Amino acid sequence: MCGIFGIVYSEEKNNLGECLMKAARRLVYRGYDSAGFVGISEEGKIDLRKDAGKLDKIAKKLKFQEIKGKRGIIQLRWATFGIPKKENAQPHVDCKKRLVSAHNGNVVNTGELIRELTFKGHSFMGDNDGEVVCHTVEDFFNVDHNLGKSIMKAYRILRGDYSYIIADSKEKGMFAVKKGSSLFLGIGKDFTCASSDLPSILPFTKRYIPLYDGEFAEFHSSSYKIMSLETGERIEREELIYKGDISQAEKGGFPHFMIKEIKEQPRTVNGIISYLNDSGEALEYGKQIRKSRKAFLIGSGSSYHASLMGSYFLNRIGRKFSIPVVSGEFKELFGNTLNKRDSFILVSQSGETKDTINVLNYLQERGFENLYSFVNIPGSTLYLRTKKRFPVMSELEISVAATKTFLNQAVGFVGLSALIGGRNDILKEISLLPGLLEETIGKSEVFCENLAEELKSSLSIYILGYGPNHPAALEGALKIKEVSYIHGEAYYSTEFKHGPLALIEEGNPVIFLSSREDSEKIISAINEVRVRKGKIISISPENSSIRLNSDVFIPLPYENYTMTPLLSVAVLQLLAYYLSVKRDIDPDTPRNLSKTITVD
């Protein structure tokens, strides 16, 4: 989704454009199709440059790096309202070219507001909701001549979930407004900044403050105040210090973040392993969840796949009844049948996914109390709005494709299941994972690179698995779709013969995931495809029958119910990555996608 960043320095900066570029590079990972920069000089001169396209190209064409000024705002836009074109790119200016603003999220009454404001005499350059934000505030500002007051009035009019940054070029400072989409203030020695994303603040400062929904902040180079959008009352909040490793947001010699993050997994998995073993908090949450009637595991995309895998583990190891649900379907599927004794684990890498936040709103509005967030970004909306927080502990993940966060979520569920089921043996076994991942990634990378060469022109790749290997297959298929644009589809290995088998023709690739205990079932499924001349690729602990029946066999170094699916996912991540590279796609920023989906 869109990313926004604004900064106020104590002095005019000749290299403002370069500073803004530094922030923009950290917003790229969210996904975007347009980029815009504005610099505001000491005297209030606005220098606005923007267009549709990729950041580096636009920056070169419009000479972003030459922008000077004391204040700056940038926006990377992921189109929802209005096609990607210069007029819809942000930041926007008001009719008098005095106010400048950039937003993130969605203003859902954009159509009505454009009609009303046009009737009142405002002129719009495009049909983007960010422009509506600017003119709505301007409409009040024309009367009040007070930006803070106008923002509070606009809050009552602008419907949807959004955040924005706005400056009056004729006054000092800047405002940041939060209603639904994430927003952080960053505090430095000679500047204050605001951004939709913590990673874009970190090259400037480690001191930050998350804003909550319904709040806005006025900030100057050396001061800030946070206020309620409803009442204007001042809100005191302590600054936080980011303790993670900032180099996480750099490629560190790797060609892409995706491969860097895949290869980081043997290390980053230690974060969740230590949390499970040492925190005491995980044990306490386990006890609480054990007492609940049912546990709902709720997430979207990869976070849903981790939830689905988690349900297999909760059943087998924890003997706990759990229901995995896609966030966007939660209300329709279970809304009327919930019980106050149920527990709800909201799973999200970003902590900002709108579908998952909708579930949180639904549950909180109805007084459900057993709510747990399982998120990777401290200070995110889900994190701030839940008291019981299960941390993912993967450090920053930049590539749009979730890799190390998925792994830690899934491992978190293995551990939670072990804590609930009193299975110390499994908790001990998890400590083998870093070494096993290292070995798996090390040994299968070349296989995957070669296999990607063979499969790069395939129209479709099927991945089949049984038990927890099925969510592993779903996760692999999602990775393939996302970063290689090849149709990847996962099926229960037991279900394939009930229809999809009709699609198999000579040479069609089908990947089988196996753990040792399901090998007989998998061999039957393999043979059903083999006799139809499909190309059989197997990922499995060493197994001579599976090896014999496969065209390509990728061995895993360990066999058991919980570990094998996790290792298989690492292999599928590598395969997806190499498919992407061989098809000349940038896996970090695949088309049409965004790291953080803050819209319905």
Is residue 19 annotated as a catalytic residue, yes or no? no
Binding of residue 302 to ligand M6R (CB under 6 A): yes
d(CA 459, CA 167): 49
By beta-carbon proximity to ligand M6R, the closer residue of 15 and 592 is 592
Nearer to ligand M6R, 350 or 493 (CB): 350
Shorter beta-carbon distance to ligand M6R: residue 376 or 549 = 376
Stretch that binds ligand M6R, among 9-17, 346-354, 360-368, 459-467 (CB under 6 A): 346-354
Stretch touching ligand M6R by CB under 6 A, among 182-190, 345-353, 522-530, 581-589: 345-353
Two tokens, residue 399? 């590539």
Give helix then strand counts, H and E, for the chain: 19, 25
- Using the rule CB under 6 A, give the single segment among 46-54, 98-106, 176-184, 300-308 that binds ligand M6R: 300-308
Size of interface with ligand M6R, in residues (CB under 6 A): 15
**Least CB distance from residue 239 to ligand M6R, whole Å?**
25
Tell me which DSSP letter residue 255 carries: S
DSSP code of residue 477: H
DSSP letters spanning 81-137: SS-SSGGGSS-EE-TTS-EEEEEEEEETTHHHHHHHHHHTT---SS--HHHHHHHHH
Q: Is 353 in the site for ligand M6R (CB under 6 A)?
A: yes
Residue of 2, 19, 134, 448 with catalytic role: 2
CA angle 20, 26, 30 (to 5 degrees): 120
Part of the chain binding ligand M6R (CB under 6 A), chosen from 236-244, 298-306, 448-456, 528-536: 298-306
324-355 as b/e, with b when 16 or more CB fall inside 10 Å? Answer: bbbbbebeeebeeebeeebbbbbbbbbbbbbb
**Shortest distance, position 597 Cβ to ligand M6R, whole Å:** 5
Question: Within 10 Å of residue 524's Cβ, how many Cβ atoms?
Answer: 12
Q: Are 268 and 262 in contact (CB under 8 A)?
A: no
Residue 58: CB atoms within 10 A of its CB come to: 22
Cβ proximity to ligand M6R: between 163 and 356 the closer is 356
Min. distance of Cβ 378 from ligand M6R in angstroms?
A: 14
As to burial, measured by CB atoms within 10 angstroms (0-12 exposed, 13-18 middle, 19+ buried), residue 11 is exposed
Q: Minimum distance between the CB of residue 94 and ligand M6R, rounded to whole angstroms?
A: 33
Choose the stretch contacting ligand M6R; rule: CB under 6 A; options: 221-229, 236-244, 344-352, 512-520: 344-352
Q: Which of 91, 324 has the CB closer to ligand M6R?
A: 324
Site string for ligand M6R, 230-269 (x = CB under 6 A): ----------------------------------------
Contact flag: residue 569 with ligand M6R (CB under 6 A): no
How many whole angstroms separate alpha carbon 510 and alpha carbon 490?
10
Q: How far is the CB of 400 from ligand M6R (least distance, A)?
A: 5
CB of 564 to ligand M6R, least distance (A): 21
Bridge partners (DSSP) of residue 9 are 191
71 or 305: whose CB is closer to ligand M6R?
305
Q: In this structure, are residues 532 and 501 in contact, taking their beta carbons and an 8 Å threshold?
A: yes
Closest to ligand M6R by CB, 64 or 296: 296
Among 260, 354, 535, 595, the active-site one is 595
101 near 163, Cβ under 8 Å? no
CB of 312 to ligand M6R, least distance (A): 19
Among positions 500-559, residues that touch ligand M6R (CB under 6 A) are: none
* Residue number closest to ligand M6R, CB atom: 301
Among 205, 221, 348, 519, binds ligand M6R (CB under 6 A): 348
Distance CA 42, CA 178 (A): 27
Q: Which helix (H) or strand (E) holds 40?
A: strand 34-40
The residues, any chain, with a CB within 8 Å of residue 334's CB and separated by 6 or more, are 296, 323, 325
Among 197, 218, 482, 489, binds ligand M6R (CB under 6 A): 482
Using CB under 6 A as the binding rule, the residues of this chain from 386 to 425 that contact ligand M6R are 400-402
CA 335 to chain centroid: 25
How far apart are CB 316 and ligand M6R at their closest, in Å? 24
Closest CB to ligand M6R among residues 283, 593: 593
Q: How far is the CB of 394 from ligand M6R (least distance, A)?
A: 11
Identify whether 2 is a catalytic site residue. yes
Q: Does 303 bind ligand M6R (CB under 6 A)?
A: yes
Query: What is residue 167's three-state secondary structure?
Result: strand
- Could you say whether residue 67 binds ligand M6R (CB under 6 A)? no
CB of residue 345 vs ligand M6R: minimum separation in angstroms?
Answer: 13
Fill in the DSSP letter of residue 180.
B
- Closer of 75 and 350 to ligand M6R (Cβ): 350
Contact call for residues 221 and 233 (beta carbons, < 8 A): no
Torsion of CA 450, 451, 452, 456, to 10 degrees: 120
Question: Chain-centre distance of CA 179, in angstroms?
Answer: 19
* Contact residues for 294 (Cβ-Cβ < 8 A; gap 6+): 321, 322, 323, 339, 342, 343
Can you tell me which of 349, 514, 515, 549 binds ligand M6R, judged by CB under 6 A?
A: 349
Alpha carbon distance 517, 546 (integer Å): 13
Please report, in angstroms and rounded to a whole number, the separation of the first and last CA atoms in the chain. Answer: 12
CA 420 to chain CA mean position, Å:
28
Of 104, 169, 300, 550, the residue at the interface with ligand M6R (CB under 6 A) is: 300
- What Rg do the C-alpha atoms of the chain give, in angstroms? 25
Active site residues: 2, 595
Residue ranges in contact with ligand M6R by CB under 6 A: 300-303, 348-350, 353, 356, 400-402, 478, 482, 597
